Amino acid sequence: MKGNLVTFLRKDFRLCVSGKFFLLALGSLILYSSYINLVYVKLDQEIFPVYRYDPGKVQGECAAGVTDVGSLEELEAACEDGYSVGLHITGDPGSGRKPEIMMVSCGVESLDHIREAYARALLFPEDREDGPKRDSRDALGQAGIIGTNTREMKSRREITAEFLFFELAAVGFLGLASMLFKEKQMGVIRVHAVIPVSRVLFILSKLVLILLSDLLFAALLTVINLGMKEGLRVLPGVLMQAGILSLVMALIGFLCAVVLPDFKQFSLIYLVLAVFITTPVFLVVQTGVEMDWMRFHPMYHLFTAMKNAYFQISSAQGIYYGVCAAAVVLLFMAAQWGLDREMKKEG
């Protein structure tokens, strides 16, 4: 049995190599890591830029975050984007002419309000960040910080979880299926139907190979993008979730590939899976949009568990692991049934 498994593993490994399975995984690893490090961690939403036109030099130096412009036209042009705010300092406070806050509405009333309030804080010198403070109560406030992540670390955890989920759910699924379709085309299943080898081993060797390669991929992706220290800290939890997801998706991929007659029909299922099943999950978890039916969506729980593992939130309960184990066993039995059926068909 043990020797057989090793033989199977060797055969499947060669199949993966010839099918460029590992090359694809390596390509994905480089692509995802480059995107995370070069683009995603730099994404930020800056506070509204504030421009000031102060012809009489009534106010002193520019406060942090305020840019001086030379003319009223320049000020108006700078505000045209519906995001920036302009300060027009018209004269001495005693002259009776009031300073002016000008902006183009961004179309959202509440956002316009807060832009006005923010610009106002910069309009009056004593309230500026670097301006003289009247007493301690006037000091610029600092919100209490209750989280443990910086913006960059949060982005890294978030996007790494998403890419890993996508890779395991979509690409891994496709990988196993393409491997099996190749074997089908080559007549391997027909040969297996007549030689005395265990069908369980046939499935098991593929599962073990996919699982190991997925775990390696998960570990590399995590360590590269979260850094060695943080990466190793979250790794046990992440590997646990990656293992569950990998087994579930590989078994579904196996079942579909063995039951469906050709790759074209399989790609249909794949399209449905990618577009209609995974998209709502991403939408809910990414934007916080509430959809009540989402808790009945199995992928939602898998994705949430993966994300929580990256944020080290222990939300996965015993019942979750129980359901996952039951799902894996059921899917394994279904895959076995599918393989038996296919072998009978092949004669």
Partner 1 sequence: MNWTGLKYQLKALRRDKLCVLTFLLPILAGIAVNLMGDMDFSAMAEPSFGIVRDGLTGEMEDWLRTNGTVEIYDSREELEEAVKEPATQTVGVLAKDGEMKTIRSGDEFTMYAKIADRLPRLYEQREMTAQYDLKVLPAGGGSDIMKPLLTVIVMITAMFMGCTFNAMNILSEKEDGIEYVNEILPMTRGQYVRQKIAVGFVGGTVSTVITALICMRIAAAQILPLLLLVVLSAFVAALAGLFIARFSGGLMVGIVYIKIIMILFLAPPILFYMLVPADSVWYGVSYLFPSGATFYGLMGLMDGRTDMVREVAALAGHGAVWSAVYVMMGRRHRKKVQEG
In the three-class reduction of DSSP (H, G, I as helix; E, B as strand; rest coil), residue 87 is classed as strand
Find, among 246, 222, 281, 283, the residue nearest to 169 by Cα.
Answer: 246
Residue 60-79 contact track with partner 1, rule CB under 8 A, x = bound: -------------------x
Among 108, 232, 326, 333, binds partner 1 (CB under 8 A): 108
Residue type, 138: D
Residue 92 is a binding residue for partner 1 (CB under 8 A): no
Residue 256-275 contact track with partner 1, rule CB under 8 A, x = bound: ------xxxx-xx--x---x
Asked if 219 contacts 234 with a C-beta cutoff of 8 angstroms, the reply is no
Query: How far is it, in rounded angstroms, from Cα 119 to Cα 171?
Result: 48
**Cβ-based nearer residue to partner 1, 81 or 340:** 81
Query: How far is it, in rounded angstroms, from Cα 246 to Cα 170?
Result: 10
**Cβ-based nearer residue to partner 1, 50 or 245:** 50
Q: Using the rule CB under 8 A, give the single segment among 104-112, 187-195, 226-234, 251-259 that binds partner 1.
A: 104-112
Residue 157 is a binding residue for partner 1 (CB under 8 A): yes
DSSP string, 280-336: HHHHHHHH----GGGGG-HHHHHHHHHHHHHTT-----HHHHHHHHHHHHHHHHHHH
Neighbours of 257 (CB within 10 A): 25
Residue type, 280: P
**Cβ-based nearer residue to partner 1, 10 or 151:** 151
**Cβ-based nearer residue to partner 1, 110 or 314:** 110
Residue 135 is a binding residue for partner 1 (CB under 8 A): no
What is the CA angle 212-218-219, rounded to 5? 90
Query: How far is it, in rounded angstroms, from Cα 153 to Cα 151?
Result: 6
Among 10, 14, 98, 134, binds partner 1 (CB under 8 A): 98
Residue 113 is a binding residue for partner 1 (CB under 8 A): yes
Among 4, 9, 22, 154, binds partner 1 (CB under 8 A): 154
Residue 54 is a binding residue for partner 1 (CB under 8 A): no
Asked if 179 contacts 19 with a C-beta cutoff of 8 angstroms, the reply is yes
Residue ranges binding partner 1 (CB under 8 A): 44-48, 79-80, 82, 98-114, 116-118, 120-121, 123-124, 127, 138, 140-151, 153-154, 157-158, 178, 181, 262-265, 267-268, 271, 275, 285-288, 307, 311
